[in-house]
Structure 1
Amino acid sequence: MASPSNITRRALLGAAGVATVAGTAAAWPRLTGTDIPGRGEDALTILILGTSQDAAGRQVIADAFMEEHPDIPVLIQSVQATDWGDFFAKILTMVASGTQPDVVYTATEGAQLFAERLALPLDDYIARDASQLYDYFDDVHPSLIEAFMYRGSVFQLPLDFNAANMYLNLDVIDRNGLEMPGEDWTRDDFTELLRGMHGDATPYYWTNRLFGGVVPWLYIHDTSFLVEERAEGGQDFWSTFYPGEERSGGYLWTGSNATDERVHETFEYLRQLVVQDLAVRPEQGGGNTLVGLFASGRIGTTPAGGYWVQGLAEGGMEPDQYDVQFFPKWRTQRHQFGGAGYAVMKTTKKADQAWEWIKFTANKRAMELAFPTPATTPTRRSMATDAFYTDGPEHWRRFYDTLDRFPTSGPIPAPPQQAAVETALIRNVSTALSGDPDQVARSLDTLDRDLRAVFAEEDRS
């Protein structure tokens, strides 16, 4: 969904700092306590993106698990990385060098990479323990499960997610005599709102990444920069846990769609916002700086997920100073979302114990321990309550309602070769918005060429 040194989609879940593979590996004993004699021997090793503090923070979940399963010792280990892509690269390097964790917490960005190369499918375990899982699936929207299926198999039980919604600064709106838009607002309504803020705050602030960048705009224009398809399979799962749902075996992104006319129209619309000084260029940072700018009334609108509620509260912003709205409608109001959950590694010799961990962390008690504050959106609908969002905006229900109101909303477009795909997108978004209309066309041609090369390389491997 996203640089941990900044507050991005799931930065508050633990991403922070930069470390090399060698440096991280050297720091593991100090970070995780494995330098204590006997500790970690024969333990179920859980790898997360984050710092030693993040690993310590999850210890409460590990302790609760070990109370219930005293025969399964658990060791939480953290890997510092600049973002999810960097984290996945380090996992691949570690596995290749013989360092093999049992379970890894991974986001949508890496779900298909893990499913294709690193993780075990959970289908047999889910079928065996179906009676213990109805409570979880009854509480979790099917779109979130479908996003973690790959070619008909379930590889993760998502625990948290965030949709790309629009945050609006009510101080800026009030200062300029504007009104909070309704749920059925359009792209043109959005543009007019920005015009009303021009000359005061920065009307629209956005960043250049897969989550909250150009992709939500492509989705509401009923397109994407990749060809999106659906896999076959999964019928037994859907009929068991979501009877009546017409769902697939998961998403597939099979090639470039960069030269599609609607993609060009989307890029040109965003370029016009930049040219008219209604939006910043997307590569102009974000994160902690963005929280401060928004909280101080210098930004009017910005896309973000439910994770931002905690960040704004910590930044000193009161709940009545901002609100959240669905993304505006263009051809559709299809939203973008991303989630995260634990994956069981193929290389583990403790698959049964790993499944017990995944099953435990999906229960409500464990999820309440994992998400005590609105630093993300829990996948369990029953956890989205007034108590959870005490310090949240008036319309906090829209975080989860996004999935209910717009059931065609889809995950971040992240095929197994996500890292190369995202690199190509970010590079060409920057060039497309830096010149005239002809530059948009040239950049999309280049993006198309780059993406075709990525998928051709995958076909040859």
Structure 2
Amino acid sequence: MRGSDLMDPHGPAHLPRRRVLRATAAAAGSLPLVSALTSCLNLGVEGSPHGPLDVLYLGDATQQQSFNQLFDAFREAHPDIELEARGIAAPNWGTFANTVATQIAGGKVPDVVQVATEGQRLFASKGLMEPLDDYIANDRALVDAYFADVDPRLRDWTETYSSTDGRTYYIPGGYNTAVLYCNTEVFEAAGVDLPAREWTWEEFRRAGVLIKERTGAFLIPLGFGFPFIDIMPWLLTNGASTLNSTWDEGTFDSEGAVEAAAFVKGLIDDGLSPRPGGTFDAVGQLRNNALATLGGGRWPTLDVRRLDMLDRVRIVSWPVNAGHGSPVGWDGWPILKASQKKEKAWTFLTWLMSEEASVFYARNGGSTVPARNSVATGAPFLDQAPPGTEALPEAITYGTPIPSPERGSEVQDAINQGWQAAITGTKPVREALESANERLGGLL
């Protein structure tokens, strides 16, 4: 909705470092899901035509509270449709997917399931979802009005990357891009100005050196387990990526990727980041002025609100080397082919496309950027958010979908392990990325 994310399965205290993007977070471990779901469908497991409309989504207790408010608004708008919305507080999208598969295997078939970017092509390729083309044709005016208010890239990406046969399986929902949340008190204490518009990698590094010398605070927490924030922004701001634009060839060993990994390794070697792989509490350290910046999408705003830090945080775009870049991940809302309540499910999807739903979610703790531009650039989204929040919807204009091929879990493992070896010094940077890229070639 990815973040891919994207809902966070951990509590708010874990949002920045252990985030699994709601729209765009990793779908690691999703292969068992596909096997289980396909088996269930082949066995003729179907949902019941009776009872409430069953909607599954990924979310912890905090996000479930926000979603429950959204679903209550749907029930008020459609009192004739009984809705059962179930949030699964899984640690990642793969676990969420396997939980869904287990429930289906036990005979409880949902009607609608939230799917992050990373799982959309995989699920569609296995025949798990109902094609939505006829529904869209029957409600053309409503759907066209929705997409008229959505960045055209989001529609194009959904058509290009979320289907393998040209049919439509998902209605795209909220999305996430990558920005930096900056503690203004730390920058002020170090006598370092935040950029008015953009800054370069080198300017970012120099700021970190001064901050470390003058305040002792870290510049940024760097890692290797969450590509949406740990890897992709550095690659994309240097004209590189993990895969090519059609997701069928690895590009993880390009000169731009090697340069990006070497730069990140240098930040770690210079002590401007805590050593990756530990239990660094990024939110707590940001609050305690021991951390200057934190990478994220919309979701850290929830912590900033919770900790009453709106007057201490400013959002800026990611520092650049070759040029602006950001990963993009979004929610996809499909109807399961096995659903026996497809018309009610479509009514639910059309309501999610409404301005009412978008405004409601933006105002009530949503952790993604609303797909509707009018909402993403308006008060419902920008109020009660850090200054600079407009950088989130702006980033989709130069963003790139996070690569999500069908064998996504194995691809992500290769990418994570290669980046880990590169930035921690287990292998020389170029060797680490070349080795990872060779693995990618065998998977694609």
Q: TM-score range by the shorter chain?
A: 0.7 to 0.9
Amino acid at match of 1:415: P
Q: 2:273 aligns with which of 271, 275, 279?
A: 279
Q: 2:9 aligns with which of 4, 8, 17?
A: 4
Amino acid at match of 1:427: Q
Amino acid at match of 1:421: V
Q: Taking structure 1 as reference, are residues 298 and 153 closer, same or farther at Cα in structure 2, changes over 3 Å only?
A: farther
- How many Å apart are 1:358 and its aligned residue? 0.6
Amino acid at match of 1:337: V
- How many Å apart are 1:91 and its aligned residue? 2.7
Q: Taking structure 1 as reference, are residues 315 and 271 closer, same or farther at Cα in structure 2, changes over 3 Å only?
A: same
> Aligned pair 1:418/2:408, yes or no?
yes
Could you say which residue in structure 1 is the equivalent of 2:147? Answer: 137
> Aligned pair 1:292/2:290, yes or no?
no
> Aligned pair 1:312/2:301, yes or no?
no
> Aligned pair 1:47/2:61, yes or no?
no
* TM-score in terms of structure 1 length: 0.79
Contact (CA 8 Å) 1:43, 1:75: kept in 2 or not? Answer: yes
Q: d(CA) in 2 for partners of 1:76 and 1:269?
A: 44
Deviations 1:317-348 (A, max 9, x none): 1x231211111222121211212132211222
Could you say which residue in structure 2 is the equivalent of 1:453? Answer: 442
- How many Å apart are 1:387 and its aligned residue? 4.9
> Aligned pair 1:197/2:211, yes or no?
yes
- How many Å apart are 1:361 and its aligned residue? 1.4
- How many Å apart are 1:69 and its aligned residue? 4.1
> Aligned pair 1:214/2:231, yes or no?
yes
Could you say which residue in structure 1 is the equivalent of 2:40? Answer: none
Counterpart secondary structure, 1:168: strand
Could you say which residue in structure 1 is the equivalent of 2:197? Answer: 183
Amino acid at match of 1:147: W
Q: d(CA) in 2 for partners of 1:451 and 1:93?
A: 29
Of 416-425 and 212-221, deviating more is 416-425
Give ranges in structure 2 of 5+ residues lacking alignment. 24-47
Q: 1:386 aligns with which of 374, 379, 401?
A: 379
Q: d(CA) in 2 for partners of 1:259 and 1:51?
A: 37
Of 131-140 and 87-96, deviating more is 87-96
Q: How does 1:223-372 map to 2 (within 5 A)?
A: 223-229=240-246, 253-285=247-279, 289-317=281-309, 319-371=310-362, 372=364
Counterpart secondary structure, 2:360: helix
Q: d(CA) in 2 for partners of 1:55 and 1:324?
A: 26
Q: Taking structure 1 as reference, are residues 446 and 159 closer, same or farther at Cα in structure 2, changes over 3 Å only?
A: same
Could you say which residue in structure 1 is the equivalent of 2:35? Answer: none
Deviations 1:66-122 (A, max 9, x none): 454454332212333111122123334444554421110122222222222222332
Compute the RMSD of aligned alpha carbons.
2.9
Q: Taking structure 1 as reference, are residues 445 and 316 closer, same or farther at Cα in structure 2, changes over 3 Å only?
A: same
Deviations 1:198-223 (A, max 9, x none): 23210121342121111111111111
Q: Taking structure 1 as reference, are residues 379 and 207 closer, same or farther at Cα in structure 2, changes over 3 Å only?
A: farther
Deviations 1:413-460 (A, max 9, x none): 112222222222222222222227x522332233123323333xxxxx
Contact (CA 8 Å) 1:335, 1:402: kept in 2 or not? Answer: yes
Contact (CA 8 Å) 1:225, 1:257: kept in 2 or not? Answer: yes
Counterpart secondary structure, 1:155: coil
Deviations 1:179-214 (A, max 9, x none): 011323222222222222123210121342121111
Q: Taking structure 1 as reference, are residues 394 and 77 closer, same or farther at Cα in structure 2, changes over 3 Å only?
A: closer
Contact (CA 8 Å) 2:198, 2:316: kept in 1 or not? Answer: no
- How many Å apart are 1:374 and its aligned residue? 5.3
Counterpart secondary structure, 1:254: coil
- How many Å apart are 1:148 and its aligned residue? 2.3
Q: Which has the higher contact order (CA 8 A, sep 6+)?
A: 2
Q: d(CA) in 1 for partners of 2:131 and 2:276?
A: 37
- The size of the alignment, in residue pairs, is 403
Could you say which residue in structure 1 is the equivalent of 2:430? Answer: 441
Contact (CA 8 Å) 1:40, 1:74: kept in 2 or not? Answer: no
Could you say which residue in structure 1 is the equivalent of 2:117? Answer: 108
